[in-house]
Structure 1
Amino acid sequence: MKLETPLPPAPHLTVDILGLCPSVRDDVRVAVQVYGGRTCYVIEDVLRSKFYRLGLAEYTFVSLLDGQTTIAEAMGQTAEICGSDGLEEREVATLCKWLLECSIITTEQSSCENRLEEGRVKQQTRRVLGGVNPMIQKIPLFNPMPVLRPLDPLGKLIFGVWGGVVWSLVVGYAAFALWESWDAFTGAGMHVLARQNWLVLLATWLGLKLIHEAGHALACRRFGGHVRESGIVLILFAPMPYVDVTSGWKIDGKWQRVIISAAGMYAEIFCAAIAALVWTSSFDPLVRQHAMNVIVTASLMTLLVNANPLMRFDGYYMMIDALELPNLATHGRRWLATATRRYFLGIDVRGPDRGEGSPAIVVAYAIAALVWRWIVCVSLLLSAEVLMHGVGKAIAIVAIGLWVGPTCCRWIRMILQNRLVRHRRLGWITAAASATLWMCWSVVPWYSRGTVPLVVDYHHPHEVRIGADGFLDELSVSVGDVVSRGQILARLSNRELELEYRDVLLDLETSDARYRGFLSSESIAAAGVEQKVQASLRSRLAQLEGQLSGLVVCSPADGVIAQCDVQSCVGTFIHRGERLLVIGSHGSETMLGLVDQADVEAFRRAQGQRVDVRLWGMGERPIAGRIDRVLPRAELSLPHAALGADAGGPLPVRPNPQATDDSDAMELIAPRFPVLIDLVGGETDRVLPGQTGYARLVYRDGTLGRAVRDSLTDWIEDKRAMLRMHR
């Protein structure tokens, strides 16, 4: 971990210091570097392990400060040596002020008892505030040099040419092996955050961070640096080791400094590659789980945190060394401070000097880093509140106070004591900001987009069902066929039904013969009884004729076969009443969608309004639709198989335990409200039943402020639900 030293801030006022005779401390070391094509000098403060980079003119001036030469004389001699590149009086004042604040030079005034006591009070205040800040605490532990010196040969091997070749081969092969098992890997990764895995994951994370910092230390030693200190940084009480490799600043080669910054990620990614090879080759569940912990922790978290240039971690130092933009973050903070004083408080201050990088780069980085820093801090505070409940709320409140409180106090003191502040401008800006916030909360509308997956279907289609139990012998149509009224669609057979029909018919003939015999013998009573038997047999015969006629399925209307439920059931037994086919009439196409509960009220209010519909396979141009109605009840049933994820649709489904046939074999995981959307204009000729797509409705959903509040509340609730799920 490497800390960057800020550049000197612009002075708020100029004092007469030309007659002072400061001197450079005797224990300060100097090294020459070439940076950005220019010669510069790196000053090392050995006592504080801090490094400062000066240009030729600045170093020439500092080298003349021997305790006997006045600042005016040193400035004149610098002008003689450097010519037009010499320092102006204002630049000299700024440089001297900064050198005093960094304790690089001393004067009689800075060494007096009052100044020393003031410095001790400031240092003690910073130490107290840092010790109670739950966001971050730094705890130095020991000097690691006795451990690192015997490992110097290992560092030369790892960060040499052959080490780089081995690293590339192992990481490349591991990435290829993991890609081949990507589906299984992503499925197994869902269990990494399970509650029973937390302790193991924490231990894995700590071990990898030790390897990470060891990589920095070995790389620093590889290129001649000195590791002065190591310890632990607590971020929201989560421990993270660190090593002080700021001595890498005096190394002349910029790519060597980049390697030192990248060494931690270099080591962690290699560990992730080894773990990936173990995961793809092992069948032991415990071994695979530990390997998964290493892969996720060493790759995902390293890339998200350490490689991010907007935070002052490894990625930032790699960027500023590679692009030769030193102190980019410091320049950005100074620009933000100057812009705030100038435009918010109305103080006429001069913009900060930017020696490296264009102003556009500095401004863009300052804004991006500020936004990212707020996002990270707010996320950490919200995570503490979610994961630690009551304790987390207390930590969040304390952290917010320590984070925002000192800044607010400084601004209040500046506003009250600085006579250059334009209070009228401050009042107008404050009022405008307050009015803007109030309008965002109460007036400015917020629009949401409700997206509904849908399928084209026929409006009031004809369902053709089986009229009698039997075996499906023949199915003469398929989906998409045009049929006419009375056309035979399918034939079934039922041997038992046919035999029963013949038996009843034979019994009826026998009964008729007996009836005639009774009449000829004038047995009136017996003939009456036989008449009742014949009536019963004729009734049963009529029922059997109806069932036998049901074995031949005919089309009830003209139309198109829209759905066939038993196409794969030819030769199997089908029960009476099962759906065989669905016939739709051309020109009656409509769209059936399923609305999520969060958007159902908006769709109900928009009944009769037009919406844009996009169907897959019809290009980017939307077609027009109109919301007909939203059905009042949410359902789990899947109205069309094309909407289910098992058939390539957008909605997650699961097997229906209460399914009675193939048409309802799957059901939705979460209930949704069916909505009917009519096609508008001549779009009916362009669509085909079974096409899927989505309809999108833009509707007003409260105000901007309430939308932000609701999103934040939903985020917190989602995290709490995730926590409960992993318990």
Structure 2
Amino acid sequence: MDTGLVTADSTLGSQLVNSHWYRVGGLAPRLRDTLRIHPQYWRRQLWYVVEDRINARYHRFDRQAYRIIRLLDGRTTLQHLWLRLAAEAGEHLPSQEEILSLLGQLHSLDLLASDTLPDLGELAGRGRSQTWRKRAASYFNPLAIRIPLFDPDRFLERASKRLAPLLNWRGAVLWLACVLPALVLAASHWRELTNNFGERVMALDNLLMLAVLFPLVKILHELGHGLACKRGGGEVHDLGIMLLLFLPVPYLEASSSWTFPDKRARMLVGAAGMLVEVWLAALAFYLWLWLQPGMAKALAYDVTVLASVTTVLFNANPLLRYDGYYIASDALEIPNLAQRAGRWWAYLFERRLLGRRYADSPVQAPGEAFWFTLYSPLSFLYRTFVMFSIAVFVAGQYFAVGVLIAVWSIAASIALPFWRALGWLARNVAGGGIDSRPRRVILALAAGLGLFLFALPLPHHTQVDGVLWLPDSAVVRAGQTGFAERVSAVSDSELHPGETVLELADPGLTAELAAQTARTEAAQVRYDAARLEDPAAGERYAAELRREQTALAHLAERNARLTVKSASRGRLWLSQSEDMPGRHFRQGDVLGYVIPPAPPRVRIIVDQSDEALIREHTRSVRVKLPFAAASLWPATILRSVPAASNELPSAALGRSGGGEIATDPRDDSGRRALTSHFEYELGLPDDFPYRLIGSRVSVRFEHPLEPVGKRIWRGLRRLFLAHFHS
């Protein structure tokens, strides 16, 4: 549904008499015959909506402006009009300047008729200008490009009469009876509905179905607007195609609903299309539940998604200028909410920053300023979020199309408004529209901002988490699966390489070793006997003996690993050494550490997006411990693992251990990250006093000085590309 309301307001405060009045006082302007005027109340104030039936535009004027407009009958001259207003208004008499300003507005809006030959060149130029503005506004909106087709008014008139029994409370009851159970069932089937949503929707064959279904769903949506408008007594004279994300979607202009005096009737027109879509989504959902897997079930699913997702993300949200916006505008009784909210922020900029005391405020009623303050930033943020979400979602399957949408979105949402703002400032600064002092302030701010963003080098660093760790030789591990039989060394004792720490026992391995020893001895006896009797025949037993000896050596090696020995020099630390006897350990389990005199290492995990920056542009490295935050310790990069991995060196780096890295909830160890990272190992100075192995530390990589603008660009690029390289 397309609606547009242009506000023309008359304000007091200018000089009562204008020096050029004598030139126009004898003119008797009149309104065009094709205009209609409709009174409406907005926030308990009487306003008048002037309907331009030729151009399908609507203009709102306050009561004071209407006092002048009603006298423009082609017979009353401006001088007599002013004298009559003086007799009626008394001290509230509008100035001649205000009357001339209002007439200028009426002329620019093509609301005045003329008995003289019109300036055809001016009219043609004005028409071309309006056409260009409409096309430019359409082309710079990635969400909608409109192409009008035909007039549906007669068809809707006949349809509204036939459907009259349903366009009342009976239809509302039927709608609720259909939609409410569907909402309950959808909640219970939510996982089935959303499972592999992106892959299901963006599959090539499904996109072809969506391309066919989308226009069919939306034509029903638009017919809902049209029927509601006809029910309220309005007219619908424009139906066409809107290219929504490059898909042809029908649209219908029901802007005549702006003339309805009751705001609830206007809100119903705005909501009618969404009511039809939600009802259609409910019916399709019921079919999806009932049908067996196949083409029909897929079609029902697509209709459910189309009629529900587009309603929530686009039509129902007042932050986008679709149906929800016009409903909210009527509910709040604030017409032109988006335009006037933008003017409100411009007013604040002019008054607060530029020092213009007489800047015009768009606030016309109590309470409007609050909504103006909220609406513009929220609308900008949500619109940008929706555009980039669509770009990322599409690019997940079709990268080039997603990038194109993203570039278009940046141009429409950020670059174009910023360029317009710069143009406005440049015109005012160059043309003297801003006083000298504010002008200097603006130029200084602009220059300062440019220097700050693109010329001023500032400190730059990357911060990651790590853990204090030891070399592999310092880790005491169980060399073989078994039960702890005897602890040969106690915690905090000094060890040398080769000293026994713990002895394990494996009865099964011991029995197997004894049996293998017997088999080897028997093979040796057979070999010796055969070699004495017949040296040539002894070779047959030699192969058997070698096999048995190899098996015995393997078992002997496993048995030797039951004795856990220190591989390095240092101070022993065992975990609960007094409880170790009798406990079962698996091969590779960490039993303790031999803490060397040298400082521990730091193992860190680096995100893929930061890896190149750390590897190529690191000037220095500093380590900070959370329990000694006042001290920063220098560090050096000892090694880096060239391949990315999902395994974390310690569970302390994952979220389950208090870290920042998201881990796989299916991994009980808490050491498997959801995304791959690069691992680095850092060395600490010899005077590093802490030996709290496994403690989490913060590592800071200092990079060369760099302007903020370059970092912002790199961050935006990373934000977009990270989605496709994760």
Q: 2:516 aligns with which of 500, 525, 548?
A: 500
Conservation of the 8 A alpha-carbon contact between 2:40 and 2:48:
yes
1:27 partnered with 2:34: yes
State how 1:215-230 maps to structure 2 within 5 Å: 215-230=224-239
Q: 2:250 aligns with which of 212, 231, 241?
A: 241
Q: Could you say what secondary structure the match of 1:48 adopts?
A: coil
Q: Could you say what secondary structure the match of 2:508 adopts?
A: strand
1:436 partnered with 2:443: no
Q: Could you say what secondary structure the match of 1:325 adopts?
A: coil
Conservation of the 8 A alpha-carbon contact between 1:486 and 1:554:
yes
Conservation of the 8 A alpha-carbon contact between 2:458 and 2:707:
yes
Q: Could you say what secondary structure the match of 1:598 adopts?
A: helix
Conservation of the 8 A alpha-carbon contact between 2:648 and 2:672:
no
Distance in 2 of aligned mates of 1:638 and 1:59: 74
Q: 2:570 is matched with which residue?
A: none
Q: 2:148 aligns with which of 124, 140, 154?
A: 140
1:125 partnered with 2:129: yes
Structure 1 residue 244: Cα displacement: 1.3
Distance in 1 of aligned mates of 2:509 and 2:133: 90
Conservation of the 8 A alpha-carbon contact between 1:441 and 1:704:
yes
Distance in 2 of aligned mates of 1:541 and 1:380: 65
Distance in 1 of aligned mates of 2:720 and 2:344: 34
Q: 2:556 aligns with which of 542, 547, 561?
A: 547
Residue deviations 1:540-568 (CA, integer Å, cap 9, x gap):
69966972981893554762289xxxx99
- Greater shift, 201-210 or 11-20, is seen at 11-20
Distance in 2 of aligned mates of 1:319 and 1:652: 42
Distance in 2 of aligned mates of 1:446 and 1:203: 55
Structure 1 residue 706: Cα displacement: 0.9
Distance in 1 of aligned mates of 2:192 and 2:81: 70
Q: 1:48 is matched with which residue?
A: 55
Structure 1 residue 248: Cα displacement: 1.0
Q: 1:521 is matched with which residue?
A: none
Structure 1 residue 334: Cα displacement: 4.0
Q: 1:599 is matched with which residue?
A: 610
Change (3 A) 1:34 1:342: closer
Give TM-score scaled by structure 1 length: 0.71
Q: 1:462 is matched with which residue?
A: 476
Change (3 A) 1:220 1:276: same
Structure 1 residue 152: Cα displacement: 1.8
State how 1:193-208 maps to structure 2 within 5 Å: 193-208=202-217
Structure 1 residue 229: Cα displacement: 1.5
- Greater shift, 457-466 or 12-21, is seen at 12-21
Structure 1 residue 601: Cα displacement: 6.1
Q: 1:708 is matched with which residue?
A: 712
Distance in 1 of aligned mates of 2:406 and 2:632: 50
Conservation of the 8 A alpha-carbon contact between 2:640 and 2:679:
yes
Residue deviations 1:413-453 (CA, integer Å, cap 9, x gap):
7777x575658965773464144213301215475764548
1:7 partnered with 2:23: no
Change (3 A) 1:193 1:379: closer
- Greater shift, 230-239 or 394-403, is seen at 394-403
1:560 partnered with 2:578: no
AA of the residue aligned to 1:463: R
Conservation of the 8 A alpha-carbon contact between 2:220 and 2:276:
yes
Change (3 A) 1:401 1:437: closer
Conservation of the 8 A alpha-carbon contact between 2:387 and 2:409:
no
Conservation of the 8 A alpha-carbon contact between 1:487 and 1:555:
yes
Change (3 A) 1:496 1:436: closer
Give TM-score scaled by structure 2 length: 0.71
1:256 partnered with 2:261: no
Conservation of the 8 A alpha-carbon contact between 2:222 and 2:250:
yes
Change (3 A) 1:710 1:342: same
Change (3 A) 1:386 1:644: same
Q: Could you say what secondary structure the match of 1:219 adopts?
A: helix
Structure 1 residue 314: Cα displacement: 1.8
Structure 1 residue 43: Cα displacement: 2.6
Structure 1 residue 323: Cα displacement: 0.8
Distance in 2 of aligned mates of 1:694 and 1:271: 56
Q: 1:469 is matched with which residue?
A: none
Conservation of the 8 A alpha-carbon contact between 1:40 and 1:53:
yes
Distance in 2 of aligned mates of 1:321 and 1:112: 41
Distance in 1 of aligned mates of 2:387 and 2:26: 46
Q: Could you say what secondary structure the match of 2:271 adopts?
A: helix
Distance in 1 of aligned mates of 2:460 and 2:177: 51
Change (3 A) 1:282 1:334: same
Conservation of the 8 A alpha-carbon contact between 1:223 and 1:251:
yes
Q: Could you say what secondary structure the match of 1:30 adopts?
A: strand
Residue deviations 1:268-316 (CA, integer Å, cap 9, x gap):
3333344444445545154454444334433334333333434432222
AA of the residue aligned to 1:174: A
Structure 1 residue 245: Cα displacement: 0.9
Q: 2:372 aligns with which of 359, 362, 380?
A: 362
Q: Could you say what secondary structure the match of 1:139 adopts?
A: strand
1:673 partnered with 2:689: no
Conservation of the 8 A alpha-carbon contact between 2:229 and 2:254:
yes
Residue deviations 1:605-630 (CA, integer Å, cap 9, x gap):
4876234769xxxxxx9999977756
Change (3 A) 1:433 1:274: same
Q: 2:195 is matched with which residue?
A: 187
Conservation of the 8 A alpha-carbon contact between 1:590 and 1:678:
yes
Change (3 A) 1:147 1:241: same
Residue deviations 1:35-64 (CA, integer Å, cap 9, x gap):
322333333222222223333333333222
- Greater shift, 67-76 or 238-247, is seen at 67-76
1:102 partnered with 2:113: no
Conservation of the 8 A alpha-carbon contact between 1:491 and 1:551:
no
Change (3 A) 1:119 1:475: farther
Change (3 A) 1:246 1:446: farther
Change (3 A) 1:55 1:600: closer
Change (3 A) 1:209 1:590: farther
Q: Could you say what secondary structure the match of 1:57 adopts?
A: helix
AA of the residue aligned to 1:362: F
Distance in 2 of aligned mates of 1:321 and 1:655: 50
Show structure 2 runs of 5+ residues with no match.
493-499, 567-572
Distance in 2 of aligned mates of 1:117 and 1:541: 106
Change (3 A) 1:696 1:398: closer
Distance in 2 of aligned mates of 1:2 and 1:390: 26
AA of the residue aligned to 1:595: V
Q: 1:61 is matched with which residue?
A: 68
Structure 1 residue 79: Cα displacement: 5.5
Conservation of the 8 A alpha-carbon contact between 1:23 and 1:106:
yes
Residue deviations 1:345-378 (CA, integer Å, cap 9, x gap):
9988642453134445435545555677788899
Cα RMSD of the aligned pairs, angstroms, is 5.8
Structure 1 residue 231: Cα displacement: 1.2
Q: 2:186 is matched with which residue?
A: 178
State how 1:326-337 maps to structure 2 within 5 Å: 326-335=335-344
State how 1:405-420 maps to structure 2 within 5 Å: none
Conservation of the 8 A alpha-carbon contact between 2:453 and 2:708:
yes
Conservation of the 8 A alpha-carbon contact between 1:170 and 1:274:
yes
1:583 partnered with 2:598: no
Show structure 1 runs of 5+ residues with no match.
467-471, 519-525, 571-577, 615-620, 657-661
Change (3 A) 1:169 1:507: same
Distance in 1 of aligned mates of 2:405 and 2:387: 17
